Chains A and B, each alone.
Chain A
Amino acid sequence: MMRSTLMALLKRDITLARKQGGGFGAAVSFILAVVVMVPIALGPDPNLLQRLAAGMMWLALLLSVLLTADRIFQQDFEDGSLDLMTMVAAPFEMIVLTKSIAHWLMVSLPLAIIAPPLGLMLNIELSQLPMLWAAMITGSLALSLLASLGGAIAAGLRRGGLLIAILILPLYIPVLIFGVASTTLMMGPQSSLPALLVLLAITLMCLVITPIASAAALRAYLR
Chain B
Amino acid sequence: MQKFANPYLFLKMANAVLPVLWVVTAVLFILGIYGAFGPSPADYQQGETVRIMYIHVPSAWIGMFAYGLMAFASAIAVIFRHPLADAAAKTAAPLGAVFCFLALVTGSIWGKPTWGTWWVWDARITSMFILLLLYIGYMAIWQAIEDQHLAAVIARVVALVGSLILPVIKFSVEYWNTLHQPASILKMGGPTIDKSMLWVLLIMALAYTTLFMALHLVSLRTEIALRKISNARLSEIRGR
Q: Residues of A at under 8 Å CB distance from B?
A: 149, 153-154, 156-157, 160, 163, 166-167, 169-171, 173-174, 177-178, 181, 185, 198, 202, 205, 209-210, 213, 216-217, 220-221
Q: Is the CB of B168 within 8 A of A220?
A: no
Q: Is the CB of B172 within 8 A of A173?
A: yes
Instruction: Fill in one digit per residue for B124-163: 1 if any A CB lies within 8 Å of its CB, else 0.
Output: 0000001001101100110011000010011011101110
Tell me what chain A mostly uses at the interface: helix, strand, loop, or mixed: helix
Tell me what chain B mostly uses at the interface: helix, strand, loop, or mixed: helix
Q: Is the CB of A167 within 8 A of B176?
A: no
Q: Which of A167, A181, A210, A221 contacts B158 (CB 8 A)?
A: A167
Does B173 belong to the interface (CB within 8 Å)?
Answer: yes
Q: Residues of B at under 8 Å CB distance from A?
A: 130, 133-134, 136-137, 140-141, 144-145, 150, 153-154, 156-158, 160-162, 164-165, 168-169, 171-173, 175-176, 179
Q: Is the CB of A216 within 8 A of B173?
A: no
Q: Is the CB of A170 within 8 A of B153?
A: no
- List, in ascending order, chain B residues with CB within 8 A of A213's CB: 157, 160-161
- List, in ascending order, chain B residues with CB within 8 A of A181's CB: 175-176, 179
Q: Is the CB of A220 within 8 A of B175?
A: no
Q: Is the CB of A177 within 8 A of B173?
A: yes
- List, in ascending order, chain B residues with CB within 8 A of A217's CB: 153-154, 157
Known: A166-B137, A213-B161. A153 touches B173 (CB 8 A): no
Max chain B CB contacts within 10 Å: which of A154, A160, A198, A220? Answer: A220
- List, in ascending order, chain A residues with CB within 8 A of B168's CB: 174, 202, 205
Q: Which of A154, A157, A173, A221 contacts B169 (CB 8 A)?
A: A173
A209 vs B161: C-alpha distance when bound (angstroms): 8
- List, in ascending order, chain B residues with CB within 8 A of A205's CB: 168
Q: Is the CB of B144 within 8 A of A163?
A: yes
Shortest 8 CB-CB contacts between residues of A and residues of B: A220-B153, A174-B172, A167-B137, A177-B172, A177-B176, A166-B137, A217-B157, A170-B133
Q: Is the CB of B179 within 8 A of A170?
A: no
Q: Is the CB of B176 within 8 A of A220?
A: no
A216 vs B157: C-alpha distance when bound (angstroms): 7
- List, in ascending order, chain B residues with CB within 8 A of A198's CB: 172, 175
Residue of A nearest to B132 (CB): A170
Max chain A CB contacts within 10 Å: which of B162, B164, B165, B176? Answer: B165
